[in-house]
Structure 1
Amino acid sequence: MLALFGLLIVIGFMILIMTRKASPFTSLILVPLIIGVIAGAINQWGFSALDIPKYAIAGMISDTDLKIKGVAGTALMLLFAILYFGLMLSAGLFQPLVNFIVRAVKGDPLKVLVGTAILALGISVDGDGSTTTLVVCSAMLPVYRKLNMKMMDLAVLIVLANSIMNLLPWGGPTARIITALHVDEGELLRAIMPGMIIAALWVIVVAVIRGLAERKRLGITNLNTDSMVHLIDTPHEDDAKFTRPHLIWFNFGLTLLVMIELIFGGMWFLPKVNSALIFAIALAVALMANYPKQADQREIIEKYGSSAVQVIFMVLAAGVFMGILSGTGMSHAMGEALATWIPERFGNHWPLIVALISVPGTFLLSNDAFYLGVLPVLNQVGIKYGFSSMDIAIASTAGQAFHLLSPLVGFIYLLLHITGVEMGKWQIQSAKWAIGIFVAFSLAIFTVGGVPL
Structure 2
Amino acid sequence: MLTILGFAMIATFLVLIMLKKMSPIAALVLIPALFCVCVGKGAELGDYVIGGVTSLAPTAAMLMFAIVYFGVMIDVGLFDPVVKGILRFCKADPLRIVVGTAVLAAIVSLDGDGSTTFMITVSAMYPLYKRLKMSMVVLTGVAAMANGVMNTLPWGGPTARAATALKLDAGDIFVPMIPALAMGLLFVFALAYVLGRRERRRLGVLTLDEVLVEESETVLVGAGKSPTRTGGPGAALPESPDGDDEGFQGLDPHREMLRPGLYWFNAALTVALLTAMIMEWLPIPVLFLLGAALALTVNYPQMPAQKARIAAHAENVLNVSGMVFAAAVFTGVLQGTGMVDHMADWLVGNIPDGMGPHMALVTGVLSIPLTYFMSNDGFYFGILPVLAEAGQAHGVSAVEIARASIVGQPLHMSSPLVPAVYVLVGMAKVEFGDHTRFVVKWAAATSLVVLGAGILFGTV
| Alpha-carbon shift at residue 330 of structure 1 (Å) | 2.2
Gaps of 5+ in 1: 42-48, 62-69, 142-150, 213-219, 363-369, 404-408, 416-422
Change (3 A) 1:85 1:330: same
1:127 to 119, 122, 126: 119
Q: Does 1:24 align with 2:18?
A: no
Measured against aligned partners, the alpha-carbon deviations of 1:412-431 in whole angstroms (never above 9, x if no partner) come to: 9989xxxxxxx9xxx89xx9
> RMSD of the alignment, in Å?
5.5
2:257 to 242, 252, 264: 242
Q: Residues 399 and 438 of structure 1 are in contact (CA less than 8 Å); yes or no, is this contact kept in structure 2?
A: yes
Q: Residues 12 and 31 of structure 2 are in contact (CA less than 8 Å); yes or no, is this contact kept in structure 1?
A: yes
Which residue is 2:407 aligned to? Answer: 395
Q: How does 1:327-406 map to 2 (within 5 A)?
A: 327-343=336-352, 345=356, 347-354=359-366, 356-357=368-369, 370=373, 380-386=382-388, 394-399=406-411
Q: Structure 1 vs Structure 2: percent identity of aligned residues?
A: 25
- 1:314 alignment partner, SS class: helix
Q: Residues 3 and 334 of structure 1 are in contact (CA less than 8 Å); yes or no, is this contact kept in structure 2?
A: yes
| Alpha-carbon shift at residue 356 of structure 1 (Å) | 4.7
Q: Distance in 2 between matches of 1:251 and 1:168?
A: 29
Q: Residues 97 and 119 of structure 1 are in contact (CA less than 8 Å); yes or no, is this contact kept in structure 2?
A: no
Which residue is 1:311 aligned to? Answer: 320
2:279 to 259, 265, 270: 265
Measured against aligned partners, the alpha-carbon deviations of 1:165-224 in whole angstroms (never above 9, x if no partner) come to: 655999xxxx999xxx9x9xxx9xx97998998877777788899999xxxxxxx99x8x
Change (3 A) 1:168 1:79: farther
Q: How does 1:174-185 map to 2 (within 5 A)?
A: none
2:82 to 97, 117, 134: 97
Q: Distance in 1 between matches of 2:17 and 2:271?
A: 38
Residue type of the alignment partner of 1:283: A
Q: Distance in 2 between matches of 1:251 and 1:283?
A: 11
Residue type of the alignment partner of 1:254: L
Q: Distance in 1 between matches of 2:33 and 2:195?
A: 51
1:324 to 333, 337, 358: 333
Q: How does 1:80-229 map to 2 (within 5 A)?
A: 80-103=65-88, 114=96, 117-118=99-100, 121-122=103-104, 125-127=117-119, 134-137=126-129, 141=132, 158=139, 161-164=142-145, 167=148
Which residue is 2:4 aligned to? Answer: 4
| Alpha-carbon shift at residue 85 of structure 1 (Å) | 1.5
| Alpha-carbon shift at residue 287 of structure 1 (Å) | 0.9
- 2:313 alignment partner, SS class: helix
Q: Distance in 1 between matches of 2:50 and 2:259?
A: 42
Which residue is 1:215 aligned to? Answer: none
Residue type of the alignment partner of 1:10: I
Q: Distance in 1 between matches of 2:260 and 2:454?
A: 38
Change (3 A) 1:410 1:275: closer
Change (3 A) 1:12 1:380: farther
Change (3 A) 1:71 1:132: same
Q: Does 1:57 align with 2:50?
A: yes
Q: Residues 55 and 323 of structure 1 are in contact (CA less than 8 Å); yes or no, is this contact kept in structure 2?
A: yes
- 1:385 alignment partner, SS class: helix
Change (3 A) 1:73 1:392: farther
Change (3 A) 1:410 1:98: closer
Change (3 A) 1:226 1:57: closer
Q: Distance in 1 between matches of 2:405 and 2:127?
A: 31
Number of corresponding residues: 372
Which residue is 2:266 aligned to? Answer: 251
Q: Distance in 2 between matches of 1:401 and 1:350?
A: 21
Q: Distance in 1 between matches of 2:102 and 2:88?
A: 16
- 1:386 alignment partner, SS class: helix
Q: Distance in 2 between matches of 1:250 and 1:445?
A: 44
Which residue is 1:14 aligned to? Answer: 14
Measured against aligned partners, the alpha-carbon deviations of 1:319-367 in whole angstroms (never above 9, x if no partner) come to: 1222222222222122112211123535444542145548xx97xxxxx
Change (3 A) 1:282 1:343: farther
Q: Distance in 1 between matches of 2:271 and 2:101?
A: 17
TM-score, L = length of structure 1: 0.61
Residue type of the alignment partner of 1:163: A
Q: Residues 6 and 330 of structure 1 are in contact (CA less than 8 Å); yes or no, is this contact kept in structure 2?
A: yes
Change (3 A) 1:394 1:203: closer
Q: Does 1:300 align with 2:309?
A: yes
